[in-house]
Amino acid sequence: MNLEEAIRTRRSIGRLKKDPVDRAVIEKILEAATWAPSHFNTQPWKFIVMTGEGRSKLGEGYARVALASLDTGIGAALEERLEKERAKAFRSPVVIAAVCSPSDDPRATLVEEIAASHAAVQNLLLSAHDNGLAGVWRSGDPMYHPLMKDTFGLDAEEQLVGLIYLGYPDMTPPDGKRTPASEKTVWIDA
């Protein structure tokens, strides 16, 4: 698959088979992620890979965030809700938490470090697609909650920038639709 084809055919796929993904494939796509651009070559990303029961770390983070946001609740109903939250981590055989770990280079700004980390996630997703995997980049309020950050033991300046659920697709990817670039481009020639 060439680059143009990978860009045009990659889709967010949330329905994934339970089949395990070989560690060498995961390492290959992580290596591709590290070739993203970053201002001053700070390379401000790191990745936490969860497979098997390791995904329970993320599940516990989801449960902690949910518990903190609930007004009240006890007993079976509460435990059922928390189990539902924990189960979110097991929607795919591999979950990769992408982290922005900003450099101490005084020339680097936080917004650029986050942008570079997002570029690394894009590389990861394109490489996963090229290697026959599918996935979805998830975020949302629970990911940004301080308890989720605490769950992963992140430093004060670090932040989660994506939860990437990966595996082999269990559905046919939908057709892609994009607004033509010509409708999103302004040319300044003179």
- Consult the annotation and say whether 10 binds a ligand: yes
Q: What are phi and psi of 101, to 5 degrees?
A: -115, 85
- Consult the annotation and say whether 138 binds a ligand: yes
Please report the pLDDT score of residue 190 as a whole number. 86
Please report the pLDDT score of residue 77 as a whole number. 81
Contact 51, 18 (CB under 8 A): no
- Consult the annotation and say whether 11 binds a ligand: yes
Q: How many CB atoms lie within 10 A of CB 188?
A: 4
- Consult the annotation and say whether 137 binds a ligand: yes
Please report the pLDDT score of residue 79 as a whole number. 87
pTM of the model: 0.93
CB within 8 Å of 36: residues ≥ 6 apart: 45, 116, 117, 119, 120, 122, 123
Please report the pLDDT score of residue 91 as a whole number. 96
Q: What are phi and psi of 186, to 5 degrees?
A: -115, 125
Give the helix/strand (H/E) hosting 56.
helix 56-69
**Mean pLDDT across 81-86:** 94
Q: What is the pLDDT of residues 17-39, one digit of tens each?
A: 999 999 999 999 999 999 999 99
Please report, to the nearest 10 degrees, the dihedral formed by the alpha carbons of residues 103, 104, 108, 112 taken in order.
30
Which domains are delineated in the chain? 12-51+91-171 (3.40.109.10)
pLDDT at 73 over 70: no
